[in-house]
């Protein structure tokens, strides 16, 4: 349902031009084209000797005519039969040569080289031909591409010092609850109070998903206060509320949203943690634009799990990115885990770094309020409803974060 609404958003209306150094994490709004053929010349991929492949026969001796390095062009004329030019990785292939013999496969003999017995050389071996990566004017990055290090490098290769990107969606982050105290408020906590961790964590998650998170003042557990914050938040592109979406006497978020005419697309998901998550939209009203919202559970791990599952894909689409669901991988359980018939579980876990056989281990935790366990984890193990245990070695899905 989230992805269905994300597909209906269309491209963001506002774009801006940013310096290449500021483009990481942004979404490209206009295609990036190659400014010239890539590579712009036939390029050597190895240190070795540029030769005519036909003259590189087993046991043949070739006369070395000189040397060409990266950033230079060979000015010694055409490479002929029985001739070679010493060449460095990245250098242009001299005229007449059609292959590069790696240094490992020749022996230096006086002012020449002799081929290693039994070694031949195919045409264009160890050479990348001009334009084989991209032709001048070709689109090398489509609109909707999220910019990372690889994209920065490619843009720089095409001579781009700036990129045209979509504006970051402005996201109002509202934490609810009488028990919350703002970090940095200058006052000490009472025993029954807690710091507002969700507000800060959600801003970080929003930023990592391509948005700009603005943390509004804490909404206290009164209809008046929650209403005031929601009215403030609806002026933003997206509103995220944490807490106040369960069935308790002071869980007022849904009541306030309903009173403002909200359309609820769902008000609960069969998952643990995160069951009471809410997704909906406030209509245009009193001059205010329509505004999508997510109401997330207040327990910190629940907040973050449901953000990754539901908010992150929607927010990335709002930022102009490709509409796609959360990123899952497959890994083998290192230890047996008891099953559960209640709900699909998303449990804090650590994904191993073995490239041959990815494995995942659950992190010991004390429930959805255990932020220390969540910080020790680097993913969530996804365990569907099942009677009996999940055996060690069994392959399961893992939600990356």
Q: Say which CATH class 2-38+132-166 falls into.
A: alpha beta
**Residue with tokens 């935790």, as numbered in its chain:** 365
**Residue with tokens 């008891």, as numbered in its chain:** 338
- The model's pTM: 0.89
Question: Residues 200-213: pLDDT tens digits?
Answer: 999 999 999 999 99
CA distances from 323 to 10, 170, 285, 310, 314 (A): 10, 18, 28, 12, 8
CA distances from 360 to 3, 59, 344, 363 (A): 28, 54, 17, 10
Residue ranges of the domains in the chain? 2-38+132-166, 43-128, 170-318, 328-400
pLDDT of residue 336: 97
pLDDT of residue 284: 94
Average pLDDT, the chain: 94
The answer on pLDDT for 230 being more than 60 is yes
Superfamily of domain 43-128: Molybdopterin biosynthesis moea protein, domain 3. (2.170.190.11)
DSSP letter string over 5-70?
A: HHHTS-S-S-EEEEEGGG-TT-BBSS-EE-SS-BSSS-EE-SSEEEE-GGG--TT-EEEEEEEE-T
Burial classification of residue 7, based on how many CB atoms lie within 10 Å of its CB (0-12 exposed, 13-18 middle, 19 or more buried):
exposed
| Strand 106-109 relative to strand 48-51, pairing | unpaired
CA distances from 178 to 100, 169, 175, 227, 386 (A): 72, 29, 10, 15, 38
Find out whether 125 and 108 touch, Cβ atoms under 8 Å.
no
pLDDT of residue 249: 63
Q: Mean pLDDT over residues 180-194, rounded?
A: 93
Q: Which two tokens stand for residue 146?
A: 């999220």
Q: Does domain 170-318 have CATH number 1.10.1060.10?
A: no
pLDDT of residue 276: 94
Q: Mean pLDDT over residues 227-239, rounded?
A: 96
Cα(234)–Cα(232) distance, rounded to whole angstroms?
Answer: 6
Cα(253)–Cα(200) distance, rounded to whole angstroms?
Answer: 20
pLDDT of residue 382: 98
Q: Does domain 328-400 have CATH number 2.40.340.10?
A: yes
Q: Mean pLDDT over residues 5-27, rounded?
A: 95
Question: Residues 112-158: pLDDT tens digits?
Answer: 999 887 778 999 999 999 999 999 999 999 999 999 999 999 999 99
pLDDT of residue 148: 96
- CA–chain centroid gap for 166, Å, is 16
pLDDT of residue 250: 57
Q: Which two tokens stand for residue 357?
A: 């056989």
């Amino acid at each position: 349902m989230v992805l269905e609404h994300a597909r209906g958003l269309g491209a963001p209306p506002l774009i801006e031009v940013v310096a290449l150094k500021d483009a990481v994490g942004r979404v490209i709004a206009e295609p990036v084209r190659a400014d010239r053929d890539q590579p712009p010349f036939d390029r050597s991929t190895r240190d070795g000797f540029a030769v005519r492949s036909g003259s590189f026969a087993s046991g043949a001796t070739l006369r070395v005519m000189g040397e060409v390095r990266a950033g230079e062009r060979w000015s010694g004329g055409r490479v002929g039969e029985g001739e070679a030019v010493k060449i460095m990785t990245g250098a242009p292939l001299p005229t007449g040569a059609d292959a590069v013999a790696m240094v490992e496969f020749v022996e230096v003999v006086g002012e020449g080289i002799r081929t290693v017995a039994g070694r031949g050389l195919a045409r264009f071996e160890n050479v990348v031909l001009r334009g084989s990566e991209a032709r001048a004017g070709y689109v090398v990055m489509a609109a909707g591409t999220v910019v990372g290090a690889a994209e920065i490098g490619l843009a720089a290769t095409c001579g781009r010092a700036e990129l045209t990107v979509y504006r970051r969606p402005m996201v109002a982050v509202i934490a609810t609850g009488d028990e919350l105290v703002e970090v940095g408020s200058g006052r000490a906590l009472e025993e029954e109070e807690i710091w507002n961790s969700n507000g800060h964590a959600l801003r970080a998650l929003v930023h990592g998903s391509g948005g700009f998170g603005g943390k509004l003042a804490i909404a206290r557990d009164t209809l008046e206060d929650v209403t005031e914050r929601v009215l403030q938040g609806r002026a933003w592109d997206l509103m995220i509320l944490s807490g106040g979406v369960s069935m308790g006497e002071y869980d007022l978020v849904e009541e306030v949203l309903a009173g403002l005419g909200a359309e609820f697309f769902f008000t609960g998901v069969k998952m643990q943690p995160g069951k009471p998550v809410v997704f909906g939209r406030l209509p245009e009203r009193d001059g205010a634009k329509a505004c999508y919202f997510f109401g997330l559970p207040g327990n910190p791990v629940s907040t973050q799990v449901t953000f990754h599952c539901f908010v992150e894909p929607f927010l990335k689409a709002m930022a102009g990115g490709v509409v796609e669901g959360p990123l899952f991988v497959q890994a083998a359980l290192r230890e047996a885990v008891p099953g559960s018939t209640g709900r699909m579980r998303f449990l804090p876990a650590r994904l191993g770094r073995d490239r041959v056989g990815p494995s995942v281990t659950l992190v010991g935790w004390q429930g959805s309020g255990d932020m220390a366990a969540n910080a020790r984890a680097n993913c969530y193990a996804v365990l569907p409803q099942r009677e009996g245990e999940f055996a060690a070695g069994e392959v399961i899905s893992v939600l990356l974060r």
